[in-house]
Amino acid sequence: MLIGISFSAAFGQTIKTPEERVESFYRWYLRSIIAGPDVDKAVMLSHLSKRFGRWLYSKAGESRDYDPFTNGQDFNNAWADNIRIGKLTKRGTTATLDIVLAGAPGDNWDMPLTVSLVKERGTWKIDRVKGTRITK
């Protein structure tokens, strides 16, 4: 039931901006991780650029020892409800978006990330994720 809801939510909406793509992806992805260890490959690929999707499901991508979407080996359930969208830089068909997967208040477990996107066939897709530093 939960997977069906996630699947329809991922495919039932029109993504118009890089911010919408990133927020939609992380809400789906983080909740999927909490629900169980496996995520739906079709839904995953619907959010990713062709390049990133090929790498993720390649031998190299599958042998990684970290989560490329959270930039770490550890996971905080609070992130699913605390996705902070930050600065967007857009140039033509590419964009970068700073986000923070924020922990629960007081736990000091925030994960700052920079998400790179490309526009493929008129739709924004996640092309890369890298960890960044929190600047105050």
pTM reported for the whole predicted model: 0.85
Banded pLDDT at 133 (limits 50, 70, 90): confident
Return the pLDDT at 101: 96
The string over 5-39, giving b where at least 16 C-beta atoms fall within 10 Å of a residue's C-beta and e elsewhere, is ebeeebeeeebeebbebbbbbbbbbbbbbeeeeeb
For residue 66, report the phi and psi dihedrals to the nearest 5 degrees.
-150, 165
Residue 134 pLDDT > 80: no
What's the CATH architecture for 2-131?
A: Roll (3.10)
Residue 13 pLDDT > 80: no
Residue 77 pLDDT > 60: yes
Query: Which sequence spans correspond to the domains of the chain?
Result: 2-131
What pLDDT, in 10s, does the model give residues 99-124? 999 998 888 889 999 999 999 999 99
